[in-house]
Amino acid sequence: MTTDKNRLGMLCFIATETIFFGMLILAYIYFQNNAPNSGPNARNSLNVGLTAFFSLFLFASSGTIWLAERSLHRGNQRGVSLWLVATVVLGLIFLGGQGYEYAKLIGENITVSRNTFGTTFFTLTGFHGLHVFIGLLAIGILAGWVISGNLKGHKSSALGTISLYWHFVDIVWVLLFTIIYLLALL
Amino acid sequence: MSQEFVLVPEPTDALPIGKTGSLLYWIASVDHKLLGIMYIGAALIFFVIGGVEALVMRLQLGSARNTLLSPEAYNQLFTLHGTTMIFLVFVPMVVGFGVYLVPLQIGARDMAFPRLNALGFWMLVFGGLLLYYSIIAGSPPDSGWFAHAPLTAKQYSSAQGVDYWAIGLLLTGIGTTTAGLNFIVTILTMRAKGMRLLQVPMFTWIMLVDGFLIIGTLPPLNAALVMLLIDRNLGGAFFNPQAGGSSILYQHLFWVFGHPEVYLLVLPTFGIISEVLPVFSRKPLFGFNFIAGSALAIAFLSYAAYAHHMFAVGLGNAFNAFFAMSTALIAIPTGVKIFNWIATIWGGKIRFTTSMLFAVSFIVLFTIGGISGVTFGIVPTDWQTTDSYYLVAHFHYVLYGGSFFAVMSGLYYWFPKVTGRMLSEKWGKWVFWLMFAGFNLTFFIQHILGLMGMPRRVYSYDDLPNWSLFNLISTLGSFLLAFSVLLFIISVVLALVKGEKAPDNPWDAWTLEWATTSPPPIENFEQVPPIRGRRPLWDLQHPDDQDWQRSHSGEKIGGQPHEASLPSEHRKDNSQ
């Protein structure tokens, strides 16, 4: 398993990303604990329920990409393309939810430059959203390969590699959702 | 015994390749050898640029109250000099050595991800160009190579220089990260059949450790740069104390990158030294496992020691005590290496080639830099000497006297392999002695200047007793140093134009890169000799005296010790 160089390369990449997100999360937690009492913060500005609802789509997409991998192993090309497209749709719904959330916050004049909560919140969730978007591009390309019949031979290991990345993006969201939204409920 | 050669697997992808020698051949290349040469070439070009910046600064400091440079220009110069030397000279230099040598040393045809390799190189080049474009745009960065907040905040640095600096470093940083990832995957998955992980040459082993160091070290810098850019361009509050942010946070993020970064740059030069010393002492590397293990220890400890860059911040006694201790601790694995290198030379048949001269002087100069480094781990001493010329002297001994001398050693050692030509030894001796003299003349006296109280990063000074004289000595030394670099460049050009043709293995070395032609063909190898130990070429040439048949004390396993009958190169061989 580890001698697959694409997989190993992706694991190394995920390691760097973990540290990168770790630093952003540290900054968020640091400023949460040292935040002024007034002004917008996670407790009084975020709609936890709505974000939880949109998060379900992202969590579900981890399942659909797993189903796509399983279809590939079983040689079911139609299944692969179906589950990949489903993954893209679920990811897009999540991004749509994030866009709605951003629009609402910005409408209430909660922006990057409002205070440390605004700065860290938009940086953290923005970088996660960017990663989702890049993942969707990659999965979209994979889906295109499957539909045009190009996902074969040594290229087929790309699906396993991309799905590793996708699971990572998902796990990051589990962490972010817990730290930003759930802890704010306490 | 059988001497069956090992076939080297062919790449699965056809890789693009233009007409030999054309511009497209270089630009479109994904071959690790061409990329390695381009990395090192880019590093040398930036080295000349950064060196000229240093010379202008030394001219300004040559006498008291000099008015050659304005304070603003001086600030811009030391920022560009530091950033250039760290990110655009040392990083591409050590990555270039790695990219060129690792596949050859492990008997592979290319890196694991050839295209990613090219991407990393070009990102680094464009990052460097972006940094220097800031001059054309009219506002070079001027807040030092570590750009502490809040000096870099919009209200204190309103010009765009810091943005160019941050975006440039972000690009080079991502490029370097891809190189680190590539080293790890290449060394773990592409070794020739039969080569176990602990049988790779020391340079390759250290590039593996360095790969992990790279992918662990660059992300905090990238995070800090991203936050800085958000602060400056979107009005963020990360490092802005007035808006509830924390400028100390920047220092933490920067130095948790910055300190491991130093080791990231120094470790590969340890690898170079560990290849050069054994070959020119005609002995195997002493204590391979200790050197390999201490490289790991250094990599781990370098994270634990980062905040000794922050003693002057005032973070409290417990905090300072921890990082003082970890700083002292990291001297131990480094010391282990120094002793191993000395033991490698000890009793060997030493050939003082230019490469060997640089390698031996590396041990001396790096030790001086290391000892002054330990003094910075003592908090009260640090408070007195930080941001003085004592610090400037310290890190130039580490990075120039240490790392760059090792790089020179490596350049002389592998030049015949890379180009197929020999560098002139006669010129080489001149280059070495002038560089050695120039370096020590420039920087040793800066220890004293620093202890006399001369602060760094100040464009001028009053005419205090001896200050002008000592600074003048340093300035003269820097020009001697520059002259030696000029001689080196001329000797490289001469060697390329009409140098003596190099044989495949001019130094009679033992690692796999010397098993192919000089320069290697595009595919590196069709096959490599069987690999049963760390010196496959030794084993190939000495069928009756195989490395792998010896115990750690150099005695034949199962046979009687018969030291008298051994070839002299093998006596006192304690490492295998």
Q: Which of A8, A24, A111 sits opposite B185 (nearest CB)?
A: A8
pLDDT digits (tens, 9 = 90+) for B434-474: 999 999 999 999 999 999 999 999 999 999 999 999 999 99
Note the pLDDT of residue B555. Answer: 63
CA-based nearest distance B192→chain A, Å:
14
Determine, for residues A116 and B180 on separate chains, whether the beta-carbon distance falls below 8 Å.
no
DSSP annotation string for A59-109 = HHHHHHHHHHHHHHHTT-HHHHHHHHHHHHHHHHHHHHHHHHHHHHHHHTT
CA–CA distance, B414 with B534 (Å, rounded to integer): 19
Q: What is the SS3 assignment for B350? A: coil
Rounded CA separation B475/B57 (Å) = 9
Does A115 touch chain B if contact means CB atoms closer than 8 Å? yes
What residues in B contact A123, CB-CB < 8 Å? Answer: 226-227, 230, 236, 238
pLDDT at B559: 44
CB B12 to CB A19 under 8 A? no
Chain B CB contacts of A154 below 8 Å: 12
Could you give the angle at the alpha carbon of B207 between the alpha carbons of B110 and B214, nearest 5°?
Answer: 105
Pairs of residues, one from chain A and one from chain B, whose beta carbons lie less than 8 Å apart? 93
**Residue B542, C-beta contacts closer than 8 angstroms, at least 6 positions apart:** B567
Subunit contact A27:B113, Cβ cutoff 8 A: no
> Could you give the CA distance from residue B258 to residue A114 in angstroms, rounded to a whole number?
30
Q: Is the pLDDT of residue A36 over 70?
A: no
Contact B181 A13 (CB under 8 A): yes
Contact A26, A120 (CB under 8 A): no
Chain A nearest CA to B91, separation (Å): 18
Q: Please name the member of B185, B223, B237 whose beta carbon is closest to the beta carbon of A116.
A: B237
Asked if A30 and B246 come within 8 Å (Cβ–Cβ), the reply is yes
To the nearest whole Å, the CA of B409 is away from the closest chain A CA by 31
* pLDDT number for residue B546: 81
Judge whether A109 is closer than 8 Å to chain B, CB to CB: no
Q: What is the pLDDT of residues B117-128, one digit of tens each?
A: 999 999 999 999
- The B-side interface with A (CB below 8 A) comprises 12, 112-113, 116, 177, 180-182, 184-185, 188-190, 211, 215-216, 218-220, 222-224, 226-227, 230-231, 234-238, 243-246, 249, 253
A18, closest residue in chain B (CA to CA): B219
Q: What confidence tier does A3 reach under pLDDT thresholds 50, 70, 90?
A: low
Neighbours of A153 (CB within 10 A): 8
Distance from the B190 Cα atom to the nearest Cα atom in chain A, whole angstroms: 9
Contacts of B316 (CB under 8 A, 6+ apart): none
Report how far residue B409's alpha carbon sits from residue B283's, in angstroms, rounded to the nearest whole number.
18
Residue found by looking up tokens 């935040």 in the block: A35
Q: What is the pTM of this model?
A: 0.93
**Chain B residues with CB-CB distance to A172 below 8 A:** none
**ipTM score assigned to the predicted complex:** 0.94
Rounded Cα distance, B326 and B330, in Å: 6
Q: How near does any CA of chain A get to the CA of B257, in Å?
A: 11
Are the C-beta atoms of residues B139 and B232 closer than 8 Å to each other?
no
Closest C-alpha among B87, B79, B96 to residue B143: B79
Q: Give, for all 576 residues of chain B, the pLDDT tens digit.
A: 446 788 787 766 656 566 677 888 888 889 999 999 999 999 999 999 999 999 999 999 999 999 999 999 999 999 999 999 999 999 999 999 999 999 999 999 999 999 999 999 999 999 999 999 999 998 999 999 999 999 999 999 999 999 999 999 999 999 999 999 999 999 999 999 989 998 999 999 999 999 999 999 999 999 999 999 999 999 999 999 888 899 999 999 999 999 999 999 999 999 999 999 999 999 999 999 999 999 999 999 999 999 999 999 999 999 999 999 999 999 999 999 999 999 999 999 999 999 999 999 999 999 999 999 999 999 999 999 999 999 999 999 999 999 999 999 999 999 999 999 999 999 999 999 999 999 999 999 999 999 999 999 999 999 999 999 999 999 999 999 999 999 999 999 999 999 999 999 999 999 999 999 999 998 899 889 988 888 999 988 888 888 777 765 566 665 444 444 444 444 444 443
A31 in contact with chain B, both atoms CB, cutoff 8 A: yes
Q: Is the pLDDT of residue A37 over 70?
A: no
Give the pLDDT of residue B553: 56
> Which whole-number Å values give the CA distances from B238 to A70, A105, B3, B159, in the listed order?
44, 19, 63, 19
User: A37 and chain B: CB distance < 8 Å anywhere?
Assistant: no
Does A12 contact B215 at a Cβ distance shorter than 8 Å? yes
Cross-chain residue pair A24–B223, CB shorter than 8 Å: yes
CB B450 within 8 A of CB B404: no
